[in-house]
Amino acid sequence: MAPVARAPRRYFIEFNGALLFYVAAVVGRVYAVHHVNDPTLKTLILLSPIPFVCLAALAVVRFYRRMDEYHRLQMLEALAISAGATAVVTISWTFLEDVGLPHLPMFYAFMLLIGCWGIAALYFGWKDKVSEGKAFSALKSVAATLIYVAVGTAVYALITGWMGLPTPWYSLALVASVLFVARMGSFIFSKKSSVC
């Protein structure tokens, strides 16, 4: 198997590994912060998710470097589309705040960016499969991604609910966006061979 063909699997393992540790750190810090009195230890616990965010970002960079030129172009196009969509929404929101919409933290812009990136990449993967005459396979791939995102978000909501932690809608939106990015390798690459 060519090195480029192993890229999606490696990405899936690396990104989801970082994601698991990140979720554990986020959930753990909420719990631990009420039971730790030492200020130094408390600060370390509060900052503990940051290294895993860096690891997740590194996984995306490594995935990009393992891709071939066609998929790199697709990923950059998807990122450009998501940057454009984010710009339109965030600038519009600034004006909408003047007529009564709530002021939101900058963090929401990031959620929007990665959510749009995942959706745009999903669209490119779908278009590729349709152009090969695999419309049904394309639908299955999109459905599998949506199920993965929905189930992952529901599991997160259940775990945080079970622990008695607050689960605001934006935290669920963030989880859904990240899960979209986690699935990116699977829906833009297709291993099925074609003789044509």
Partner 1 sequence: MLNSLRELRGERGWSQADLADRLNVSRQTVNALETGRYDPSLPLAFAIAKLFKLRIEDIFQPS
Interface residues with partner 1 (CB under 8 A) are 1-5, 67-71, 73, 128, 131-132, 188-196
Do 10 and 63 contact (CB within 8 A), yes or no? yes
Nearest approach in angstroms of CB 30 to partner 1 is: 41
Nearest approach in angstroms of CB 116 to partner 1 is: 22
Both tokens of residue 137? 């396979």
Nearest approach in angstroms of CB 140 to partner 1 is: 16
Indicate the residue among 3 and 164 with the shorter CB distance to partner 1. Answer: 3
Indicate the residue among 34 and 192 with the shorter CB distance to partner 1. Answer: 192
Nearest approach in angstroms of CB 56 to partner 1 is: 23
CA-to-CA distance for 105 and 102, rounded, in angstroms?
10
Do 50 and 84 contact (CB within 8 A), yes or no? no
Indicate the residue among 38 and 69 with the shorter CB distance to partner 1. Answer: 69
At a CB cut-off of 8 Å and minimum separation 6, what does 53 contact? 18, 22
Indicate the residue among 37 and 193 with the shorter CB distance to partner 1. Answer: 193
For the four alpha carbons of 145, 146, 152 and 156, in that order, the dihedral sign comes to positive
